[in-house]
Structures are given as C-alpha cells and as structure tokens.
Amino acid sequence: MDDHIGSRRLGERLIDSAAPGAAEVSRFVGSLPPDDRFDLDRVAAATLARMLRRSRQVPTASLEALVAVLDGLGASDVLFGRHDSESETAVVVLDVASGAVVAGSVRPIPEREVITAGELAGILRRADDAPIATTAVARTLELLSTRDDDEALVVGRQGASATARTFRTKYSMARETGVTVLGLEEFADRLSALGDTEIALCLASTDDARVVAALDADRSAAIAALVVTDLATT
C-alpha cells in the first residue's frame, strides 16, 4: 500500500461504502481537486483510538463512531489519513491489506493553536545547555532566524509514541530517495520514551527544507527537533 491516496481514488472507494462516516468523507472529497491527497500512516488501531480520545478534536457523532470501529480492531494495524480544507478536517481509516475504507469522519476546524517563530526559537535557545542541545536544534535555530519573529506557526497535538513511529518510518523511507534528515533517531527515541503523552508539534517549511520541533504539552520546554533538507530531490 502507498503512503498516500489521491482524492479521486479515495472518492471511488467511498462510492456506495457503508462504512461509518463514509458519506461525510465522500462529500468532503468531492470538493477537492482530483490531485489532492491524503497522506497515510500505519498505526495500531488501539493506539490511534487513544490518540483521538486524548486529542482536542471537536467531538462529532461520526468521530465517535470512528473511534468505536478502532476499538473493535484492537491491536490490528490500520492506515490513517487526514486532509484539511479551509474550514474542515477529514480523517479516514483504511484496511491495511485491501485499502478499503473502514471508517471516516469530517469535523469543523476550530481556531488553530499557533506559536510565533520567535517564541519557538526562544524555547529552543533555552535548550542550549540541556541534553537535547544537538546539531538538529542548532540547524533549526538557524532556519528559524530567516523567518519573521512574528510569523505564526501552527501547533499540532499528537501522542508522542505514535508520532515517533510515524516519523521514523516516513523519514527513513525519505532518506532512501536522497532526502537528508538530521536528528531523526534522537527525535524518535525521545518521543518513544514518552509513551502516549500528548506533545505539541511545530513545523516550519521553506522551499527545500522543513524543521519540526516537539515541545512539552504546555510548550514550556523542547523535547527534540529534526531538520529535513534536499526536499527538491523527491
């Protein structure tokens, strides 16, 4: 199975689907350009259910139905994808073997949590003498210095260990295509050690580079950072 699915192909799989939330996702997908895509991550159903319960998702009936499906799948792996429009977020769960849709949900996007580039840089600078002071942190600070201090960066809320697994898999594969990933092992190891603890994840991108910083849930301290460069080779 690919690590993404295009909106046109997903729409075809949703036709006449009886999966919980399929009609909502079908309506959402129908509003997207056909070349838009849902990135897919492989994760244990039970882990994903815990993450969704602990997240700050707006509760909806279809989201509750999706979590119920995940509860029924237990330790089995699923493929999880999401896509944001200007006003809504759609999530979809696919069967690993067949790629069939097993559940989906669409919810309105609440006001997004943000952090300024200057605030993030300040948190990372305070880690200079801490154990997480690494080459990846230094490079992240270097890239953030090219941004306006008041530029708003979106903050995501995710489970630490699930994020670690996703990033380890995704960026290990990216390396095979010529992408340079600095700090991946330490980033993944530090997050793995935190289990299901919620973290704040901040991302900033340029044309050919991406930096990701993981912070404590209250954004008081940095946990780890990684830098992805040579994106133009993919």
pLDDT at 159 over 60: yes
Same domain, 30 and 122: no
**Confidence (pLDDT) at 151:** 92
* pLDDT (tens digit per residue) in 85-121: 878 889 999 999 999 999 999 988 766 788 999 999 9
Find all residues with CB under 8 Å of 137, minimum gap 6, and list them: 124, 127, 128, 183, 222, 225
Band the pLDDT of 11: cuts 50, 70, 90.
Answer: very high
> Which residue segment(s) compose the domain that 12 sits in?
4-108
Residue 205's pLDDT is 81
Q: Which of 108, 129, 150 is the last residue of a domain?
A: 108
129 lies in the same domain as 102: no
Does 136 lie in the same domain as 48?
no
- Lowest-confidence segment of 115-119, 196-200, 206-210, 214-218 by average pLDDT: 206-210
- Residue 233 pLDDT: 46
> For the purposes of burial, counting CB atoms within 10 Å of the CB of 95, is it exposed (0-12), middle (13-18) or buried (19 or more)?
middle
On whether both 170 and 60 belong to a single domain, the answer is: no
Q: Which two tokens stand for residue 103?
A: 């559940």
131 lies in the same domain as 185: yes
Are residues 32 and 51 part of one domain?
yes
Task: Tell which of 83, 108, 133 closes a domain.
Answer: 108
The answer to whether 134 touches 232, Cβ cutoff 8 Å, is no
Structural domain count of the chain: 2
Angstrom distance (rounded) from CA 175 to CA 234: 10
pLDDT at 189: 93
How many CB atoms lie under 10 A from the CB of residue 37? 19
- Average pLDDT for the chain: 87
Query: Which residue type, as a one-letter code, is found at position 193?
Result: A
Task: Give residue 56's pLDDT.
Answer: 57
pLDDT band at 134, cuts 50/70/90?
confident
Residues 192 and 228 in one domain: yes
Residues 99 and 20 in one domain: yes
What is the model's pTM?
Answer: 0.58
Tens of pLDDT, residue by residue over 41-90, are 899 999 999 888 876 566 678 889 999 999 999 999 999 998 888 788 89
DSSP type of residue 231 = G
Q: Which helix (H) or strand (E) holds 90?
A: strand 88-95
Residue 91 and residue 75 in contact, taking contact as beta carbons nearer than 8 Å: no
Which tokens in the block code for residue 151? 């530029």
38: β partners: 5
Same domain? For 156 and 227 the reply is yes
Whether 101 and 193 map to the same domain: the answer is no
Report helix, strand or coil for 50: helix
Which domain-ending residue is among 66, 82, 108? 108
129 and 227 belong to one structural domain: yes
* Crossing angle of helices 135-144 and 117-125, rounded to 10°: 150
Do 126 and 226 share a structural domain? Answer: yes
Q: How confident is the model at residue 149 (pLDDT cuts 50, 70, 90)?
A: very high
Answer yes or no: are the C-beta atoms of 176 and 187 closer than 8 Å. Answer: no
